[in-house]
Amino acid sequence: MRESTIAAISTAQGAGGIGIIRISGDDAISIADKVFVSFSGNKLSTLEGYRAAYGNIVFEGETLDECVALVFRAPKSFTGENVVELCCHGGNLVTKLVLRAVLKSGAEAAQAGEFTRRAFLNGKMDLSEAESIMNLISAESKSALKAATEVRQGSVSKKIYALCEKLENTAAHLSAWADFPEEDIPEISEENLRNTLNESLCELDLLIKNYDAGKAITQGVPTAILGKPNVGKSTLMNLLSGFDKSIVTDIPGTTRDVVEETVVLGDVILRLSDTAGIRETDNVVEKIGVDRAKEKISQSQLLLVVFDSSIPLDDEDRLIIDEIGTTPAVAVINKSDLISKIDIGFIKSKFENIVYISAKEGTGKDELIKAVSKATGTNEFSASAVLLAGERQRSAAESARENLASAIEAMNMGFSLDAVTIDLENALTKLYELVGKNVSEEIVDKVFHNFCVGK
């Protein structure tokens, strides 16, 4: 089976010296040729593997950046496919623009870990293959190392280190207080402890939100369109058709069985799954039960929930709304000529973001962009703010956040401080995974540094 050609920014997000846009797949070289103009005049498609060319990235008549393009030909690349790496200047805007150009030229946004997955799948699992993956992982650790050395330049590690420092001091205090009971160490005040935990939790929240927003911009956000049959999902699809999009199908060259559609909506790339169903069956009887909705919700990070303004909400609507939980969502209300019967008050109580669309007037486009931007946090996304450098860091930050929440809960329930300390240390362990340290050593060091303890 022919795999599509994928692209992503493969360097850590945030300020860095170099930004690399990696393209992999059969069409990698021809797609790269659409945006890359070498100074020598040679097309990349004329180059052998392991060759580099120097030139400009030019898209829609505009020069975006200078660039070195590295060409790897299948199977001698780590994914085993044709690969082009466009090495541009770092910085969120430049790399983002170049990626955008590549995506518009026919590549799809890569899923997290997809390059690695392809590397696994394309070769037989012999030693050399394993080694290539090891090097890949090692490259990841190098980039984590790089992130760590970027402390002075104000990147993610600086933030994590500051957070660790604060939590370490608290953990060390708790530890010294417990381990040296005869050393006259003051008991930590409950209020201080609570404040530290809450502040750290908020900071992690912010980091995670900003990461998700950044990802929505560069890699796209898995999005599901929900709603009962005949409420206007096809109207929404038509509206979305007005944006740039690409279609992924499981049989090349056909438009049947659409697996995923990518729509660029303002700053955000929406990755819509299961759109074929919506197109084809909206006018027929659609069998989308609540179970199906549940599954979609669990797989998505953004929900567009469509309602028809002319009919009152029923149980099925409410069941869907109940399933949404904390997933960011936008209520899309399809206006018709008929009198509005929908309970807007109820919708407003459940959705922060509400958009009206009208097929007849063709309106709602700008509002949708705004609402999606708000729901995904991209409106508040700051490229200069600290960004987590990948899914691994995000999941570590998420676990750390959960552990802090559990520490706060333990305090609320009246558990003794040894239990709170365990949650706190687990949170630290997760944060340390980001910077490669060992939690108990750090705390022990802090105890001796901060507290006068002896025998």
Partner 1 sequence: MNYIAGKYDVAIIGAGHAGIEAALASARLGVKTVIFTVNMDAVGNCPCNPSIGGTAKGHLVREIDALGGEMGKTADKALLQMRMLNLGKGPAVHSLRAQIDRRKYQDIMKHKLELTKNLELRQAEIVKIEKDGDGFMLESRTHAQYLAKKVIIATGTYLGGRIFIGDVSYEGGPDGMFAATELTKSLVKMGLPLRRFKTGTPARVLRSSIDFSELEAQCGDEPPQHFSFETEEELQNKVVCHISWTNENTKKVILDNIHLSPLYSGMIEGVGPRYCPSLEDKIVRFKDKERHQLFIEPCGLDTEEMYLQGMSSSLPEGVQSAFYKTIKGLENAVIMRPAYAIEYDCVDPTSMEPTLEFKEIKGLYGAGQFNGSSGYEEAGAQGLVAGINAARAVKGESKFVLDRSGSYIGTLIDDLVTKGSNEPYRMMTSRSEYRLLLRQDNADERLTPTGYEIGLISEERWQKYLLKTEKKQQELKRLKTTTLSPTAELNEILVSRETSAVSSGVTLYDLLKRPQLSYVDLAPVDKERPDLEPIIIEQLQTEIKYEGYISKQKDRIEQVRRMSEKALPNDIDYREIQGLRLEAQEKLNKIKPLNVAQASRISGVSPADISVLIIWLSSRKKEKNK
Which residues, in sequence order, are CB contacts of 172 under 8 Å at separation 6+?
443, 446, 447, 449, 450, 451
The least CB distance from residue 120 to partner 1, in Å, is 10
Q: What's the per-residue H, E or C state across 394-421?
A: HHHHHHHHHHHHHHHHHHHHCCCHHHHH
> CB 331 → partner 1: shortest distance, Å?
37
List the strands of the sheet with 302-308, edge to edge. Answer: 244-249, 258-265, 268-273, 221-226, 302-308, 329-334, 353-357
CA distance 266 to 421: 44
Choose between 352 and 441: whose C-beta lies nearer to partner 1. 441
In this structure, the strands spanning 329-334 and 353-357 are parallel
Which residue matches tokens 């904390």?
A: 326
Helix (H) or strand (E) holding 237: helix 233-241
User: In terms of CB distance, is 45 or 438 closer to partner 1?
Assistant: 438
Indicate the residue among 234 and 406 with the shorter CB distance to partner 1.
406
Q: What minimum distance in Å lies between the beta carbon of 441 and partner 1?
A: 6
Distance CA 244, CA 188 (A): 56
Q: Which is nearer to partner 1, 135 or 299 (CB)?
A: 135
Tell me which residue has tokens 């499981």: 250
Residue 296: CA atoms inside 13 Å, Cβ hemisphere, count? Answer: 25
The nearer residue to partner 1, 165 or 257, going by C-beta atoms, is 165
Looking at the Cβ atoms of 124 and 287, the one nearer to partner 1 is: 124
Shortest Cβ distance from residue 438 to partner 1 (Å)?
Answer: 6
Q: Based on the number of CB atoms within 10 Å of its own CB, is 158 exposed (0-12), middle (13-18) or buried (19 or more)?
A: middle
What residues have CB less than 8 Å from 122, skipping those under 6 apart? 75, 79, 80, 81
Kindly list the distances between the CA atom of residue 335 and the CA atoms of 236, 288, 363, 397, in Å, as whole numbers in the listed order: 11, 22, 10, 41
Residue placing its CB nearer to partner 1 in the complex, 243 or 415: 415
User: Are the beta carbons of 261 and 279 closer than 8 angstroms?
Assistant: no
Least distance between partner 1 and beta carbon 169 (Å): 14
Distance from the first to the final alpha carbon of the chain: 71
Instruction: Compare residues 131 and 380 and give the one whose CB is closer to partner 1.
Output: 131
Distances (CA, A) of 450 to 44, 170, 190, 453: 59, 11, 19, 9
Least Å distance between CB 138 and partner 1?
A: 4
Interface residues with partner 1 (CB under 8 A)?
125-127, 129-131, 133-135, 137-138, 140-141, 144, 171, 175, 177-184, 413-419, 421-422, 425, 429, 433, 436, 438-441, 443-444, 447-448, 452-455
Nearest residue (CB) to partner 1, 110 versus 144: 144
- CA proximity to 98, closest of 67, 70, 54, 52: 67
Question: What is the nearest approach in angstroms of partner 1 to the Cβ of residue 440?
Answer: 5
Report in angstroms how near the CB of residue 168 gets to partner 1 at its nearest: 11
In the complex, what is the shortest distance from the CB of residue 283 to partner 1, in angstroms, rounded to a whole number?
50
